[in-house]
Amino acid sequence: MTASNDEPRPRYFLTGNGRPTTVFAPGLGGSVEQTRPFGSGVLGTRAFLEFHCAQSLTYGDLAAGLRRIADDTGASRAVGVSLGAGAILHVLAATPDRFERAVLLLPAALDHPRPAWVATRMRAAADRIDGADRGDVDAVAAALRDLQPASVRDRPEVVTWARDRARALAGPAFARVLRAFADQQPVADRGVLARCTAPVLVVGQEGDDAHPAGVARETAAALPNAELEVFPPGGLLWEHRAAVRARISAFLNGAGGADGRGGRDGVGVVGGLA
């Protein structure tokens, strides 16, 4: 699981100070800007990862990068969104005691791939990106919006987010990522997660076909010491963001042992490759 010394680190950003340290892993097409609000109330130091399209084409790749940054920063806790949640599950399957606490937001798969029609939509989005002119922003933005719940795809903030991320992701690398993760699952057998006794908060939402609420329920059931929170439709990353942020902070801060401060601390860029 641990990356070798010559393997590239993901780019990451540090905020806050003191202990404990929590590592945050984004979802498919996500960014530090999207995951950072989830940590704004979390005490201690926060390390926000960026997964690079060209470097991470399996859950093992994602998990190795996550594990390496967690080791480098001394992180004892982890928060992951969608693909990032899958990376955490992959770590826990191999090293069940690696994190003292973890939060899994919108897990998309467990020990089976995504639903076939979701995978088909991801591959179709990849084909659309490949079929467009190199760097076509509209094709990538459409693909990102397709991965959001239907109820929020036309909201102005979602359209703006998709367009902004598309400018950063446009190109064949993102198409490869869509195809690669369409048919993968984070763990081979959910039974191995029974060895993980650390508290884990699993958060899902209804009405999100790319992240079925049933997967969140199955994930929580596979973990011996899990708490499950399923939000109503409306977009976990959009309509319910404040409530989710409060739930994460209560879960992580309530454990005690934090001697850092939350809030708006300075941001520092730390090693790794873009």
The CATH number of the domain holding residue 58 is 3.40.50.1820
For 136, which DSSP code? -
269: which strand partners?
13
Q: Give how far the C-alpha of residue 240 lies from the chain's centroid of Cα atoms, to the nearest Å.
A: 17
Q: Are residues 150 and 192 both part of a single domain?
A: no
Residue at 199: amino acid letter: P
Asked whether residue 3 is domain-assigned, the answer is no
Q: Dihedral of CA 243/93/179/8: which sign?
A: positive
What integer pLDDT is reported at residue 67 of this predicted model?
Answer: 94
Torsion of CA 228, 233, 234, 235, to 10 degrees: 50
Asked whether residue 274 is domain-assigned, the answer is no
Q: Are residues 95 and 166 both part of a single domain?
A: no
How many structural domains does the chain have?
2
Q: What is the pLDDT of residues 35-61, one digit of tens each?
A: 888 998 999 999 999 876 656 789 999
Q: Are residues 21 and 87 both part of a single domain?
A: yes
Mean per-residue pLDDT pooled into runs of 10, the chain (274 residues): 51 92 89 84 94 77 93 96 95 97 96 90 81 67 78 84 78 84 95 97 90 95 97 78 91 64 35 28
Asked whether residue 251 is domain-assigned, the answer is yes
Question: Token pair of 194, please?
Answer: 């029974």
**Domain ends where: 124, 153, 182?**
182
Q: Are residues 28 and 164 both part of a single domain?
A: no
3-state secondary structure of 269: strand
Q: Are residues 193 and 256 both part of a single domain?
A: yes
Q: Are residues 137 and 170 both part of a single domain?
A: yes
Q: Are residues 96 and 159 both part of a single domain?
A: no
3-state secondary structure of 37: helix
Q: What is the pLDDT of residues 156-205, one digit of tens each?
A: 888 888 888 777 776 778 888 889 999 999 999 999 999 999 999 999 99
Asked whether residue 220 is domain-assigned, the answer is yes
Q: Are residues 104 and 176 both part of a single domain?
A: no
Neighbours of 179 (CB within 10 A): 18
Q: Are residues 231 and 216 both part of a single domain?
A: yes
Q: What is the domain range of residue 152? A: 116-182
Going through 45-182 in order, the beta strands assigned E by DSSP cover: 45-50, 77-81, 101-105
What integer pLDDT is reported at residue 269 of this predicted model?
Answer: 35
Give every CB contact of residue 108 below 8 A, 6+ residues apart in sequence: 82, 83, 85, 86, 114, 210, 211, 212, 215
Asked whether residue 142 is domain-assigned, the answer is yes
What integer pLDDT is reported at residue 143 of this predicted model?
Answer: 76
Q: Are residues 236 and 139 both part of a single domain?
A: no
Q: Dihedral of CA 224/64/9/160: which sign?
A: negative
Asked whether residue 4 is domain-assigned, the answer is no
Asked whether residue 26 is domain-assigned, the answer is yes
Neighbours of 23 (CB within 10 A): 30
Q: Are residues 33 and 108 both part of a single domain?
A: yes
Question: Token pair of 81, please?
Answer: 């969104």
